Structure 1
Amino acid sequence: MPLQTLFRQFHDTIQLKNYSESAELRQKRDTILERLRDKLRPRTFEFFNQGSYAMGTGVKPINRDYDYDIDIGLVFDVDYQQFDPVAVKGWVYQAVKGHTASVDWRRPCITVNYQQGGEPKYHVDLAVMARDSRGTLRLALGKEHAQAELRKWQVDDRQGFIKALESRFSGEEGYQFRRVIRYLKRWKDVHFSSEGRAAPTGLSLTIAAYKWFRPVRAQTQEGIAYDDLAATAALVTQLHQNFQNVWDAGSGRHTPRLSLQFPYAPNDDVLAPMSAQQMIEFRGRLEKLSGWLEEARKTQGPASLQRAFGDQFPQK
């Protein structure tokens, strides 16, 4: 069977549907929004979907049907200069507290955790925001008892990035773009620990694709044929080639590092939390992935692709 057919089968297996296609996701989101509207009255807010569901790049968790991450932006009509960001987050925390057995107050958001059979099923991240007089969104940063210097209204244009991602490629090119992002996310899930900051985030891989992905297709007798293997290999090459040797004060030597700036506000390096050692491991795993993809190109067989993407990649 052609490798492109196997890639498409693999994509169908790992693809996580978005809000418009999943009644269960909409139900979880809408239940929380209704609770917020009821508990926060007369305060009002707008909401928007964000994260991988909104971007159409979500993947299913490996070998299980739980631990889905739903991201929602809540925009309050308040003057951010007059309100403490932690105070506004407190409104949301108090409104959802008790909705489930576990609600976490994190620096960037409030997280509502759902469990089923004692295991994580969903967690819903509520990003609390305010819109200033120019229409700019600001994200409330700060833990519940954070010191004043750790409380901040940070300019945040994640909506702008989502819109830019939607229009980056269209039609079949856009479908290949999102397929390749999902392949890299599954590779990350297979080869990196889910604990801490040892792995590149799904967002960082999405930004890398936004920056460096190029569609790969060819004219055949049957028409235009897209080559997901070649497109994935080309993006992996770009990731690897953009590492630079930088001075690491902790180790006292130059180490390889990849920087990926979020293309919209707050324009931060989304890979900054990774340590020098984690960066070395990241680059090494990219080299292995590149080798597996090259082996697949030469053999036109799926064995190396299963090593790259896990057992869910079809054998034939």
Structure 2
Amino acid sequence: MSRFESILTNIVAHSALPLDAYETAVDRYQGFGKWLERDDSPLKDNDIHAFPQGSFALGTAVSPVNPADSYDLDFAFKFRKDVSIDTHTQKQIKLMLERELELYRLHTGIAEPLEEKHRCWRLLYPSFHLDIVPCIPAHEKQRSLLVASMESIGTATEEAQSIASLAVLITDNESATFEQIDRNWLVSNPDGYARWFAARSQNLNSVYSAEAFVEAVPYFSQSTNLQRVIQLLKRHRDVMFKLEPDSKPISVIITTIAAQAYQPAQSLEQTLEMAMAGLRSFIGSNVHVLRNPVDPNENFADRWDDPRYADLQLKQNFHNWVIQLGKDIDWACPVTTDAKKRYLHRYLGGCHVPNHSPQLHR
């Protein structure tokens, strides 16, 4: 193992979410799941399917740069029975989940009140929170459109159909029809994206169960090189934007570009080189669009051109981050001095080291 590979391995170990934090998140997620199984639950007849999404589902979660900061577990809360776009408004479904969460909060003595977000409810614990997204299965027409869209970018029909079957419709209180019976809901497919990512990552340990009432949070005891490199990239981003977290590149863009660039590799160093090539190619094209591989009609970079986020300079900050990441890696590799080792740990890993390496960061 090269010195650079060894340092990268150590940084991943430092950056990944600690096992105790993972276990705490899973315990609280499962606690709500057990609450739903009680006999007097008003949702007992709705055939609920709860499943994790985001970094916990992908195996790419990282610990906060500042230990005092909060981390989160996102999960979807799918109503599979007696609820549809023809019988319920988005508002009604969101309120159904709110009532159950409020009962759970009071029963367990959670002090902080529920916090409503545009598309989810947030349940707040000390140093941690659960974001719960209410949703329902996508209807047949929407699934057919997703299949056609994925086929248009080269996805095989059988694979597209399998992925589209997992799609859901989510609530959004900013929607003009939030309080109306309407068939035009936002489409999302976090479960489909997790399966796409697992295939790209070649992680054979990923297990999904569409039949489970509350699906288990995956535990990746042996992460792939792709998962670990994405953790490295996210940690570098978090260090660079520690004082401006709202302006930082979002994880799904980093994850998608790295996964699309990935080919089976024997080392973290090789995988990092592929990810860097993908990131540099993307900013070199100067585009404003990154298609969701499981819903090509969705643009992960849609906020880059949204006037509401103009002051955050999201596109420019993404480009700045990729350029800075490349400078940091290019300067520090090969690792020939202790100063370079400290530099890597400081700006790629966020570790506390003496501050006498070159100041490339803004």
Q: TM-score, normalised by structure 1?
A: 0.79
Residues 127, 162 of structure 1: alpha-carbon distance in 2 compared, 3 angstrom cutoff: same
Question: Partner of 2:240 in structure 1?
Answer: 191
Residues 212, 7 of structure 1: alpha-carbon distance in 2 compared, 3 angstrom cutoff: same
* Corresponding residue to 2:117 among 85, 88, 106: 106
Question: Partner of 2:42 in structure 1?
Answer: 40
Cα distance, 1:40 vs structure 2? 2.7
Q: Deviations over 1:212-259 (max 9, x none)?
A: 133444xxxxxxxx2x234324322321222267xxxxxxxxxx4453
Please tell me the residue identity of whatever aligns with 2:291.
Q
Where in structure 2 are the equivalents of 1:166-315 lying within 5 Å?
166-170=198-202, 175-193=224-242, 197-217=246-266, 226=267, 228-243=268-283, 256-265=286-295, 267-274=297-304, 277-300=313-336, 301-312=340-351
Q: Distance in 1 between matches of 2:282 and 2:43?
A: 50
* Partners of 2:122 and 2:131 within 8 A in 1: yes
Cα distance, 1:80 vs structure 2? 2.2
- Of the two structures, which has the highest relative contact order with CA contacts closer than 8 Å and spacing of 6 or more? 2
Q: Distance in 1 between matches of 2:59 and 2:261?
A: 18
* Partners of 1:18 and 1:56 within 8 A in 2: no
Q: Deviations over 1:292-311 (max 9, x none)?
A: 11112244442432343244
Q: TM-score, normalised by structure 2?
A: 0.70
Matched, 1:131 2:140: no
Residues 10, 27 of structure 1: alpha-carbon distance in 2 compared, 3 angstrom cutoff: same
Q: Deviations over 1:79-127 (max 9, x none)?
A: 2222111210110112112613221222221111112xxxxx1111111
Question: Partner of 1:14 in structure 2?
Answer: 15
Query: % of aligned pairs identical?
Result: 19
Larger strand proportion of the pair: 1
Cα distance, 1:287 vs structure 2? 1.2
Please tell me the residue identity of whatever aligns with 1:295.
W
* Corresponding residue to 1:51 among 46, 50, 54: 54
Please tell me the residue identity of whatever aligns with 2:281.
Q
User: Considering only aligned residues, what root-mean-square deviation do their CA atoms show, in Å?
Assistant: 3.1
Please tell me the residue identity of whatever aligns with 2:33.
L
